[in-house]
Amino acid sequence: MKKQLILLAILCFSFAGIAQIAPSVNLMKFYTSEWEGERDENGRPMVSDELLDRLLNLSIEEAWGVIRNERYNNQFEGGWEMLHVDKPFVGRALTAQYMPLRPDVNSKIMELGKEEGRIGSSNSWPIDMLQERDVYVADGFSKIINGTLIGDNLGNSIYAKTKTGVVFDAGSRDMEGLEKIDGFNAFVRGWDPTYLMESMLTGVNIPIRIGAATVVPGDAVLAKREGVIFIPAHLVQKVVINGEFTVLRDKFGHGMLKAGVYTPGQIDGRWSDDIKEAFLKWLDDNPDELPMSREELDEYMKGRNW
C-alpha cells in the first residue's frame, strides 16, 4: 500500500510538472510524426507559403481525391455559413478546443494560463499564438447561441496576425463588422448576437474534431464555397502536384475534345501512347500553363500511371 501511495504521488507530481495549455514540442511531433519539414518553435508543421499559394488554386475535389487514396477519409466538412462565399482562403491550422463550462476544471485552466503568462479571457489565448498564414480552427461543440467565439474586435486582431480567416464549429457575432475587415473570411456554424457564455478552453494546438473531420495542428486548411478540407501537412506537396497535373490533363483533354481530335472514351480512359505524346508536345508548346517547374513535372510524370 505504501508503495502504491508513493507511485501515485510521483505520478501526480509528474503530471503537475507537464500540465500546460498547449502541448510540448515532443508531443506535437508525436501528433505529426510523418512530417519531415520545417516546424515552428512550438513544433507545429510549417507547410511552405509556396505550397499554400498553389493549393489555393485547386478545387476541393482535386485535394480530396488525393488524400482519399491515402486513406484519409475524414477530412472534409461542409454545409456551414461562409462570410464571403466568393473569397476562398488557405492556411495552416492552429487548433483550439472548447467544452461546456465546468467550474472546477475551468478554474485550474485559468490558474495554469496565469502561470504561463497568458492574458485576458481564455478565448483570446489562441489568438495571441497566431502567426501569418495561420487559420484559427476551433471546436466549439457546435454551440451558436452563447457560443460566439469572436466579434469584430477579435476578428480584427485575428486578421492582423494571420491575413486569413477562421473555421469555427461554433457561432460568431457581428457579421456586419466582420464583413468590413478587408481580406478576412470565416466558416462558422451560424451567427448570433449573444456573447460567449458557459464555455471553457480546454486545449490549444491539439487534435480536434470539426464536424465530421479530424484536424491536427499544422494541417493545411483549404476553405471554399462548398466547405473546408483539412490536409495533413505531410500530404500537401502530393496533393498540390497531383492536383496541378490533373488541371493540366483536363485542359489538354478539353481542348482535344472541342477540336474533335479524340473521342470522350479515349480521353476519359487510359491514355494511349499517341495521346501521351500529344500531351507532352502540348506542354512544350504551352509553358505558361504550368503552375510548377518543368523539372518538378517531369519528375512527377516518371511515376505516373497514365
Considering the domain architecture, whether residues 65 and 148 belong to the same structural domain is answered as yes
- Among positive and negative, which fits the CA dihedral 106, 135, 297, 261? positive
Predicted confidence at residue 8, as pLDDT, reads: 43
Percent of the chain with pLDDT over 90: 91
Residues 247 and 205 occupy one common structural domain: no
The total number of structural domains in the chain stands at 2
Q: How far is residue 177 CA from its own chain's centroid?
A: 24
pLDDT at 220 over 60: yes
Q: Are 162 and 140 in contact (CB under 8 A)?
A: no
Whether 105 and 249 map to the same domain: the answer is no
Same domain, 220 and 118: yes
Q: What's residue 14's pLDDT?
A: 38
Res 235 pLDDT > 70: yes
Structural domain ending residue among the three candidates 191, 214, 231: 231
Q: Which residues pair with 81 in a beta bridge?
A: 188
Predicted pLDDT of residue 33: 97
| 124 and 248, same domain (yes or no) | no
Q: Do 295 and 158 share a structural domain?
A: no
- With cell 467544452, the residue in question is 99
In a domain, 135, yes or no: yes
Residue 199 has pLDDT above 50, yes or no: yes
**62 domain residue, yes or no:** yes
CB 67 within 8 A of CB 239: yes
Q: Decide: helix, strand or coil at residue 303.
A: coil
Q: Does residue 282 sit in the same domain as residue 137? A: no
Rounded distance between C-alpha atoms, residue 116 and residue 21, angstroms = 8
Q: Classify residue 247: in a domain, yes or no.
A: yes
Smallest CA-to-CA distance from 247 within 289, 301, 298, 282 is with 289
- The domain boundary, picked from 231, 257, 286, lies at 231
The pLDDT tens digits of the residues spanning 270-304 come to: 899 999 999 999 999 999 999 999 999 999 998 88
Cell 519539414 belongs to: 37
Listed residue (110, 129, 306, 119) closest to 217, CA to CA = 129
Among the candidates 231, 248, 277, a domain finishes at: 231
Mention every residue, 6+ apart, whose C-beta is less than 8 A from residue 87.
Answer: 183, 185
Identify whether residues 196 and 101 lie together within a single domain.
yes
Residues in the chain: 306
- Residue 4 in domain: no
- If asked whether residues 103 and 222 sit together in one domain, one would say yes
> What is the extent of the structural domain holding 253?
237-302
Q: Is 176 contained in some domain?
A: yes
Position 19 scores a pLDDT of: 72
Residues 191 and 297 in one domain: no
The predicted model scores a pTM of 0.88
100 grid coordinates:
461546456
Nearest to 205 by CA among 11, 63, 30: 30
Q: Please give the pLDDT value at position 5.
A: 45
Phi, psi of 86 (to 5 degrees): -100, 10
State the pLDDT at residue 18: 54
Average pLDDT rounded to a whole number, residues 193-201: 97
Q: What is the pLDDT of residues 29-63, one digit of tens each?
A: 999 999 999 999 999 999 999 999 999 999 999 99
pLDDT tens per residue across span 93-140? 999 999 999 999 999 999 999 999 999 999 999 999 999 999 999 999
Q: Per the domain annotation, does 241 fall within a domain?
A: yes
Pairing of strands 185-191, 165-172: parallel
- The closest of 156, 93, 152, 161 to 131, measured between CA atoms, is 161
Residue 276 lies in a domain: yes
Indicate if 275 and 153 belong to the same structural domain.
no
pLDDT tens readout for residues 3-35: 444 444 433 433 444 578 999 999 999 999 999
Domain CATH for 127:
3.50.30.40
Same domain, 202 and 252: no
Q: Which three cell numbers stand for residue 153?
A: 474586435
Note whether residue 43 is domain-resident.
Answer: no
Alpha helices (runs of H) in the chain, residue ranges in sequence order: 2-18, 25-31, 49-56, 60-69, 103-115, 125-128, 152-162, 175-179, 236-258, 264-268, 273-285, 294-302
